[in-house]
Amino acid sequence: MESEPKAASSHATTALSPPPPPPAYNHDIYLAAAETPTEDGDEPTEYEKATLRHVADKLPISAWFVAVVELAERFSYYGISGPFQNYMQNARDDPSRPGAIGLGQKGATGLSYFFQFWCYVTPILGAIIADQYMGKYNTILLFACVYIAGLLILFVTSLPFAIESGAALGGLVAAMVVIGLGTGGIKSNVSPLIAEQYRETRMKIRTLKGGERVIVDPAVTIQSIYMIFYMCINVGSLSSIATTELEQHVDFWAAYLLPFLVFFVGVGALLLGRKYYVVRPPQGSVITDAFKAMWIGLKYGRGNMDAAKSAYREEYGVTQALPWTDLFVEELKRALVACRVFIFFPIYWIVYGQMTSNFISQAGTMETHGIPNDIMQNIDPLTIIIFVPIVDQLLYPLLRRLNIPFRPISRIAVGFLLASLSMAYAAIVQHIIYTSPPCYTTPLTPCTVPNKVHVAVQTPGYLFIGLSEIFASITGLEYAYTKAPPAMKSFVMSMFLLTSALGSAIGIALSPTAEDPKLVWMYTGLSVATAIAGALFWGCFRGLNGKEEGMNALEGVGEKEKEVEAE
């Protein structure tokens, strides 16, 4: 339907725009609403939204199957990457730590960041294949086969005869490339797939067994889903406890065999849950259409995406046919907001990457008292496993009861602050190492024993990173899903994951600074940079907190439009 060019220029609220804010408070209206409560299953009134407790809905069984797939994949990923730093850094005959290749700390850190970079670039390929051609389920199954091939390469080339014949480095690089392809195809699809198992898009009233009337809120449910999803990631990541022990007490081949075998558990869950999954079919040229719509918005609207809507074609002078709906453009605008929010995340991921690289090397210069130096990284997932239920079941509900909004932008900003504190603490630990005997600022060189600092001193650094993930990383996943158009969930998720790849690329550039005695300044610089990034993030995007409910409501508009078309 065409609108009058000038009448539309004010761009007043249209049927496809986010719903208007709640009406101004009127005592008589709200009192009447309180006296005539809504029945169970109906949408709540504005009064009920403001006064009743918002709770999460139950998760369907298909969501738990997806969670098992993710747990097994992350078990394999962290199981192999846990011993990577020692495998790459130390020589085979190193008297102090297990090793195989002997690249040194700078070389190992650079290659570690390359692996992270590759693993977070490839989700774009997985997203395009899923959204346009194969769908999420089939794409995950395809890339799971690729993943298995990479794990097999790593296992075979880590056998003693392969290491001694010089095949370890080439095999490692080949395995990284293949595993990176596999994990990329899975990562961009499994996180939106788990959320898609929950189909409700509107709030509804429910009376609990105790008589309390609550609002079942889809936004709270999605938040809870990603809390559970992230719990599975971190339960899986505890695999590095087992693999680092195997590395130290058996050999690297045993450490890499375990993740290879466990990965088949995820494949089994993927196949067994097939009949339960809710799967959106691929939408053909949806990503191409999105870029075309953005081009029209730039060309004709000078950045205003309304130029890509049929309702405004005459106003903006658009002459070409528009094969999409105005709702698609509105959803695309919301997705672009999400992509802008992700701009500062690369700085955060540089900090996150320290856990699997420089923190392990740092532990190698300290007294470990018989435990593997690379086992300390498991404090991070343990922190998340302990605190996710506390945050999800106690902190967030308490804030909702007190009517204190703690919306996504606020949560992410808190995550940045905690990440900055982690790097500040790491700088303090490094200073303690440099002021301790016997080698002071040149640990393990020329000494063959570590400096006299207990490795447990590292614990708060991992604790801060783990807490930061609960607020920044989990919320980032949630934001990527809730703001993406239904047909572009995987692609927008891949844009969020791409920020990790960019962080790894910056990490590669910074890897020459990862050497003694520069490490105090490296950690200090990362702390300051993350604090500045968090402050800029808050300054740029805090206004989006007030628009959160309106943007999320578009999903319900889309579902309603589909129902009308079906009728």
Provide the β-strand partners of residue 54. 215
- Give the CATH number for residue 519: 1.20.1250.20
Give the closest residue to 163 by CA, choosing from 114, 111, 98. 98
Tell me what percent of the residues of the chain surpass a pLDDT of 70: 90
pLDDT (average), residues 492-517 = 88
pLDDT (average), residues 90-110 = 87
* 27 occurs within a structural domain: no
Q: Are residues 235 and 334 in the same domain?
A: yes
* 7 occurs within a structural domain: no
CB 93 within 8 A of CB 244: no
Note the pLDDT of residue 9: 36
Q: Are residues 456 and 497 in the same domain?
A: yes
pLDDT at 499 over 80: yes
pLDDT (average), residues 524-536 = 97
pLDDT at 277 over 60: yes
pLDDT in tens, 147-194: 999 999 999 999 999 999 999 999 999 999 999 999 999 998 998 999
Query: Terminal CA-to-CA distance of the chain, rounded, Å?
Result: 20
pLDDT (average), residues 489-511 = 88
Q: Which of 302-306, 364-368, 409-413 has the lowest mean pLDDT?
A: 302-306
Give the domain range for residue 137: 50-282+327-566
Q: Are residues 444 and 483 in the same domain?
A: yes
Q: For residue 296, what are the contacts with CB-CB under 8 A and spacing of at least 6?
A: 307, 308, 318, 320, 322
Domain count, the chain: 2
pLDDT in tens, 315-343: 888 888 888 888 888 888 888 888 899 99
What pTM was estimated for this model as a whole?
0.78
* 349 occurs within a structural domain: yes
* 276 occurs within a structural domain: yes
Of 324, 351, 386, the position where a domain reaches its end is: 324
Q: How far apart are CA 382 and CA 379, in angstroms?
A: 5
Q: Are residues 344 and 357 in the same domain?
A: yes
* 12 occurs within a structural domain: no
pLDDT (average), residues 526-550 = 92
Q: How far apart are CA 525 and CA 532, in angstroms?
A: 11
SS (H, E, C) 263-319: HHHHHHHHHHCCCCCCCCCCCCCHHHHHHHHHHHHHHCCCCCHHHHCHHHHHHHCCC
Note the pLDDT of residue 12: 36
Band of pLDDT at residue 10, cut at 50, 70 and 90: very low
pLDDT at 429 over 80: yes
Q: Are residues 299 and 347 in the same domain?
A: no
Residue 7 vs residue 548, higher pLDDT: 548
Candidate ranges 1-15, 158-172, 477-491; pick with highest mean pLDDT: 158-172
Q: How far apart are CA 453 and CA 433, in angstroms?
A: 6
Which run of H or E residues covers position 416? helix 408-434
Which amino acid makes up residue 524?
A: T
> Is residue 153 helix, strand or coil?
helix
* 466 occurs within a structural domain: yes
Q: For residue 49, what are the contacts with CB-CB under 8 A and spacing of at least 6?
A: 22, 203, 215
Of 262, 292, 324, the position where a domain reaches its end is: 324
* 303 occurs within a structural domain: yes
How many CB atoms sit inside 10 A of residue 513's CB? 16
Q: Are residues 184 and 69 in the same domain?
A: yes
Q: Are residues 294 and 361 in the same domain?
A: no
pLDDT at 13 over 70: no
Q: Are residues 380 and 318 in the same domain?
A: no
pLDDT in tens, 279-328: 878 766 677 888 889 999 888 888 888 899 988 888 888 888 888 888 88
Q: How far apart are CA 103 and CA 255, in angstroms?
A: 20
Note the pLDDT of residue 36: 66
Q: Are residues 188 and 91 in the same domain?
A: yes
CB 90 within 8 A of CB 273: no
Tokens 């880590």 — which residue?
158
Tell me what percent of the residues of the chain surpass a pLDDT of 90: 52
Instruction: Determine phi and psi for 394, rounding to 5 degrees.
Output: -120, -55
Q: With b meaning 16 or more CB within 10 Å and e meaning fewer, what string describes 173-209?
A: ebbbbbbbbbbbbbbbbbbbbbbbbbeebebbbeeee
Length of the chain: 567
Q: Are residues 148 and 136 in the same domain?
A: yes
pLDDT at 28 over 60: no
> Is residue 207 helix, strand or coil?
strand
Of 324, 339, 374, the position where a domain reaches its end is: 324
Band of pLDDT at residue 69, cut at 50, 70 and 90: very high
Task: Say which DSSP state 405 is in.
Answer: -
Note the pLDDT of residue 550: 72
* Per-chain mean pLDDT for the chain: 86
Q: Are residues 171 and 315 in the same domain?
A: no
Q: Are residues 374 and 515 in the same domain?
A: yes
* 41 occurs within a structural domain: no
